């Protein structure tokens, strides 16, 4: 029988991990390992979740000397006191009640969970029959050292209400930690029936105080058990505990919880998988009750990949500016290889960075410069890292006029104009197939961004299927070599193959076991076309091959019908490039009029090649065109975006001012 109840299984199914989590059931025992028993006995405090007589879950912290939590045997947990006066669970715990326990040691970031049923409750304490016992990883736990509270004469006060006071809101707004109790007591919950108490951590400000009756908190990547979310899906009531580590206050909040699965708020919060919104029912503040105080925290390493609500608000404001040029400041420059540098860019206007999806790009506009004699030019570069809510990273190979200028002129403190992010070359969310990330040269950048988005926190993966990273690089010391080795060492589902010679289809057939893959391609034009055609000859469906190209490189698909609007003409349509004096025929084999122009030697301006930057706008002198994609930029009257248009079905001819 599975230790997960229907609510937990439903969420595992929704996020695509249910089959993989079936094997994790073995880690949830009905007894405590010896190391857990020794760990509990060493703790001077212990976290508990339980229901009151009205069925409301509460989370609390018990505190006493080491040894007040003991284990007479591997199936029994004994708690000898530790409940503080004024605790909302005081006098509420009786034989037959279910409780959730959490032992946590901030100095080592160690934590273990134990859930069970009270079988005895008397003056000697609580005796609990263990139903579930398992360890948790140290993610998001802030390092703190406790000591005895000073005797400052402060009296303990118990403050009750139905809304958050100003002091409560201030504590929550600066909190980097809270605990949440939840429950599923349905008769059909099986081995998953009971109460749970869990830890949540993040950067200060990761819990938003929407108003005196509402809070919102992000859910980051965890162990995929989904104990809390599964309980909330079945029984929305929950209990929150915030601790004032400096003053020794305990803030207990009874709430109704709801899961938010999508929306702009979620997208704007870096690292968030989903959100929990809490509606306040009751508040109990046990002021000055704890006999401990704690040192200032040392943040968990996982915090660096997460945001705060202040940053998320700025990101939402910036989302409206993705089609405008904004000034960014170079915060750092990192040499990745002999000819590749990463530029870390932060907004100069204080509005934050618009959220992006790994694989997307920004367009860069370099100014006129005296030494090169060139006019302002636009180029597009992949954001080479997953979102962190504070900056973009673009990794640029010194190749061409603009890229060389960036290498020569961008140093910390310099400023540059950006537009975006944009683009649709992103990892398919929720896919259940193995993935092949296939790149050459500087085409490695979107693949690194995707990996950094999928593989997080040292060992966690958002894609619980094999990922094959295959890269061809001329140089032996290619960009991100050490980073790739680190990722491969920490994630068993990632295999990495990098070679200095050309990658071809024969190599793929040697490296990949027979399976049903999603392919992601990025690199120079010849590489892209060759790999695409080779995969199609192996009967890989067109829709399973996604790609990004740099410069004029663009893949000619063998299944054009699925990639263009139904209004586009199949041909033949005469196309006149008036200023160049070039006559060409549209026959449906090119993806856009920009590609047709380049194929016929017509010098056509371009930048992002996805309808974002507008640099490919050209005058339409006659004829009728159809857009093959939705574009972020609208050209001026009488102009079209060459990268995103084709002759409309029925057009007799096209004339362009090129």
Question: pLDDT per residue over 198-218, tens digit each?
Answer: 999 999 999 999 999 999 999
Residue with tokens 């405008």: 324
Whether domain 6-299 has CATH 2.30.110.10: yes
Write out pLDDT tens, residues 22-77. Answer: 888 888 999 999 999 999 999 999 999 999 999 999 999 999 989 999 999 999 99
- CATH 3.10.20.30 domain residues, the chain: 564-656
* CA separation for the pair 603, 273 (Å, rounded): 45
Establish whether the linkage from the previous residue to 166 is cis, with ω within 30° of 0: no
**pLDDT score of 557 more than 90:** no
* pLDDT given for residue 606 in this prediction: 82
Residues 207-261 have pLDDT tens digits of 999 999 999 999 999 999 999 999 999 999 999 999 999 999 999 999 999 999 9
- Listed residue (5, 73, 7) closest to 40, CA to CA: 73
Enter the CATH code of domain 311-422: 2.40.30.10
**Residue found under tokens 């599923």:** 184
Peptide bond into 572 cis (omega under 30): yes
pLDDT confidence tier of residue 555, bands split at 50, 70 and 90: confident
Q: How many residues does the chain have?
A: 658
- Is the pLDDT reported for residue 514 higher than 90? no
CATH number for region 564-656: 3.10.20.30
The ranges of the chain annotated as CATH 3.40.50.80 are 435-558
Give the residue range(s) of CATH 2.40.30.10 domains in the chain. 311-422
Helix (H, G, I), strand (E, B), or coil: what is residue 141?
Answer: coil
Least confident of 399-403, 454-458, 576-580, 610-614: 610-614
Q: Would you tell me how many other CB atoms lie within 10 Å of the CB of residue 331?
A: 15
Distance CA 295, CA 517 (A): 50
Q: What percent of the chain stands above pLDDT 70?
A: 96
Residues 254 and 281: beta-carbon distance below 8 Å: yes
Between vectors from CA 181 to CA 177 and to CA 184, what angle results, nearest 5°?
Answer: 150
| Residue 258 · residue 276 · CB < 8 Å | yes
What is the pLDDT confidence band of residue 612, given thresholds at 50, 70 and 90? confident
Name the burial class of residue 272, with classes exposed (0-12), middle (13-18) and buried (19+) by CB atoms within 10 angstroms of its CB. buried
- Strand bridging mode 435-440 / 518-523: parallel
CATH 2.30.110.10 domain extents, the chain: 6-299
- Output DSSP code: residue 298: B
What's the CA gap between 39 and 19, in Å, rounded? 32
Please check the confidence at residue 565 and state whether its pLDDT lies above 60: no
Q: List, for residues 390-418, the tens digit of each pLDDT value.
A: 999 999 999 888 899 999 999 999 999 99
Out of 1.10.240.10, 3.40.47.10, 1.20.120.640, 3.40.50.80, the CATH code matching 435-558 is 3.40.50.80
């Amino acid at each position: 029988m599975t230790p997960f109840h229907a609510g937990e299984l439903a969420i595992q199914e929704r996020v695509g991990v249910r089959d993989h989590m079936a094997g994790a059931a073995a880690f949830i025992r009905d007894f405590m390992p010896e190391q857990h028993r020794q760990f509990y006995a060493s703790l001077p405090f212990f976290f508990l979740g339980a229901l009151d007589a009205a069925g409301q879950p509460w989370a609390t912290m018990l505190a006493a000397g080491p040894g007040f939590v003991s284990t007479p045997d591997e199936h029994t947990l004994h708690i000898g006191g530790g409940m503080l006066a004024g605790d909302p669970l005081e006098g509420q715990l009786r034989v037959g009640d279910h409780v959730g326990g959490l032992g946590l040691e901030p100095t080592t970031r160690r934590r273990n969970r134990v859930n069970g049923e009270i079988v005895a409750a008397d003056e000697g304490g609580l005796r609990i029959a263990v139903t579930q016992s398992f360890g948790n990883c140290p993610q998001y736990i802030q390092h703190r050292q406790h000591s005895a509270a000073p005797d400052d004469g402060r009296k303990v006060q118990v403050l009750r209400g139905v809304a958050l006071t100003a002091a409560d809101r201030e504590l929550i707004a600066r909190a980097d930690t809270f605990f949440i109790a939840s429950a599923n007591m349905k008769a059909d919950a099986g081995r998953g029936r009971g109460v749970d108490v869990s830890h949540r951590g993040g950067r200060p400000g990761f819990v938003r105080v929407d108003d005196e009756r509402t809070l919102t908190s992000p859910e980051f990547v965890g162990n995929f058990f989904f104990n809390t979310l599964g309980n909330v899906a079945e029984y929305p009531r929950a209990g929150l505990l915030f601790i004032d580590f400096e003053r020794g206050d305990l803030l207990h909040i009874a709430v109704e919880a709801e899961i938010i699965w999508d929306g702009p708020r979620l997208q704007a919060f870096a690292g968030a998988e989903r959100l929990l919104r809490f509606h306040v029912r009751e508040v109990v503040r046990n002021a000055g009750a704890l006999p401990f105080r704690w040192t200032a925290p040392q943040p968990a390493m996982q915090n660096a990949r997460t945001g705060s609500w202040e940053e998320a608000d700025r990101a939402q404001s910036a989302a409206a500016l993705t089609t405008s040029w904004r000034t960014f400041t170079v915060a750092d420059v990192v040499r990745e290889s002999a000819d590749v540098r990463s530029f870390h860019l932060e907004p100069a206007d204080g509005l934050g960075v618009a959220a992006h999806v790994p694989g997307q790009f920004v367009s860069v506009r370099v100014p006129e410069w005296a030494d090169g004699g060139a006019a302002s030019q636009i180029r597009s570069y992949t954001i080479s890292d997953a979102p962190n809510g504070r900056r973009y990273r673009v990794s640029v190979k010194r190749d061409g006029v603009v890229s060389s200028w960036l290498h020569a002129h961008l140093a910390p403190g310099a400023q540059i104009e950006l537009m975006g992010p944009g683009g649709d070359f992103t990892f398919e969310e929720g896919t259940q197939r193995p993935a092949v990330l296939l790149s050459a040269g500087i085409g490695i950048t979107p693949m690194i961004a995707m990996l950094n988005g999928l593989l997080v926190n040292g060992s966690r993966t958002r894609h619980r299927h094999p990922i094959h990273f295959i890269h061809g690089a001329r140089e032996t010391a290619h960009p991100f070599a050490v980073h790739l080795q680190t990722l491969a060492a920490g994630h068993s589902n990632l295999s990495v193959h990098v070679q200095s010679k050309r990658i071809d289809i024969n190599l793929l057939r040697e490296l990949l076991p027979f399976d049903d893959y999603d392919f992601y391609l990025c690199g120079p034009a010849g590489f892209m076309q060759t790999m695409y055609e080779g995969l199609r000859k192996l009967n890989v469906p067109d829709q399973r091959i996604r790609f990004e190209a740099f410069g004029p490189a663009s893949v000619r698909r063998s299944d054009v019908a699925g990639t263009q609007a139904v209004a586009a003409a199949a041909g033949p349509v005469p196309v006149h490039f008036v200023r160049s004096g070039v006559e060409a025929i549209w026959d449906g084999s090119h993806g856009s009029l920009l590609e047709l122009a380049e194929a016929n030697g017509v010098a056509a301006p371009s930048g992002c090649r996805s309808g974002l930057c507008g640099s490919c706008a050209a005058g339409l002198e006659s004829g009728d065109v159809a857009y093959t994609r939705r574009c972020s930029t609208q050209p001026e009257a009488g102009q079209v975006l060459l990268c995103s248009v084709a002759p409309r079905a029925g057009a007799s001819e096209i004339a362009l001012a090129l």
